[in-house]
Amino acid sequence: MSVARVVLVVPADAAGRRLDRVVAAARGVGTRSQAKQLIDAGCVRVDGAVCKASHAVRAGERVEIDAREPEPLAIEPEALPLVILHEDADLLAIDKPAGMVVHPAPGARRGTVVHALAHRLGALPTTGAAERPGIVHRLDRDTSGVLLVARTWAALEGLARQFRERSIEKRYVAIVHGRVARARGTIDRPIGRHPRERKRMSVRSRRPRAAVTDFEVLERLPDATLLRLRPHTGRTHQLRVHLAALGHPIVGDRVYGGRRGRGGRVPGLADFPRQALHAEEIRFRHPTTGQPLGVRAPLPSDLMGLLTRLRQVAGSAAETPRSA
């Protein structure tokens, strides 16, 4: 395994910051989670000593980072189908289907996007997370849509920087329970770990972080609303938590959906088998050319089918005279 060494001296304006934040901002590292993995693996030293990710750096400290270069994957490739939306020498954009996990994790050791990428592309760049080669962002298992994958170190670094700077624009569509009254709006509610259930996120967290989501009504339907969403931040489960907090949880969301039995007039609405959330489009600057690039994923057949049923019910209701 080859190593890319990065050495930096902490400037005065960075004094007091967490070590993982300083490392994440360094050239060739990537995201903050990737920085923490490097720190936990002992690949980061401060004035020659291994420190924790929470270490508050001081001006003048010398930080040495050993970032891993691309190497053959220790993941067995699997010949799984991938729908390619865009491909060039630097990156890949796929249309991730609902039900497919992005990378290996407890309970999902095989059949992931990473296993499929290993079969198609072989070695991909990684920064300390061997199970996440090329991955610069994620989608939940049951969220479909556009997913970006970096094929080179330069692309990994460039895309990670854009995500950190929040210059990448993501648009989602969702079908939510109930009639959303406002045509558009912004949900500005910080999100953090649920105070009692650690696997869930909440707007009532004891240590929340800023989270902002714009929404726009595309269509009002019986017992449901079709929304377009634009998250300005990338918190875990952000859209699902924000919409639940708004009182309009995403259809099919078993974690944040609240009470069951919603949507009784529409067959399949109350028991839709996954969260009705789709990553419709992502816009960014190509990490090599700098040119604007947009990638869209069409609405999948299960969501199209649900919309068709909702529209059929709406049509029938319009044709039925109201009783006096």
How many Cβ atoms are within 10 Å of 283's Cβ, its own excluded?
15
Tokens of 236: 């875990």
Q: For the chain, how far is it from start to end, CA to CA, in angstroms? A: 78
C-beta separation of 127 from 34 below 8 A: yes
Beta-sheet pairing, 62-68 with 3-9: antiparallel
Q: 280, 172 in Cβ contact below 8 A?
A: yes
Query: Which is nearest to 282 in space by CA: 167, 117, 151, 121?
Result: 167
Give the residue among 12, 7, 5, 24 at the shortest CA–CA distance from 60: 12
Task: Let me know: does 48 contact 63? Beta carbons within 8 Å.
Answer: no
CA 203 – CA 205 distance, rounded (Å): 6
Residues 136 and 115: their CA atoms lie apart, in Å, by 16
Distances from the Cα of 82 to the Cα of 37, 103, 170, angstroms: 28, 14, 21
Amino acid at the residue 30: G
Q: Which of 20, 95, 140, 223 is catalytic?
A: 140
Tell me whether residue 140 is one of the annotated catalytic residues. yes
Q: Give one DSSP letter per residue of 73-117, joined into a string.
A: -SS--------EEEE-SSEEEEEEPTT--SS-BTTB-SS-HHHHH
d(CA 37, CA 26): 14
C-beta separation of 225 from 217 below 8 A: yes
Q: Structure tokens of 321? A: 């005279």
Phi and psi at 227, nearest 5°, equal -120, 150
Query: Beta-carbon neighbour count of residue 316 at 10 Å?
Result: 11
**Residues belonging to the active site:** 140
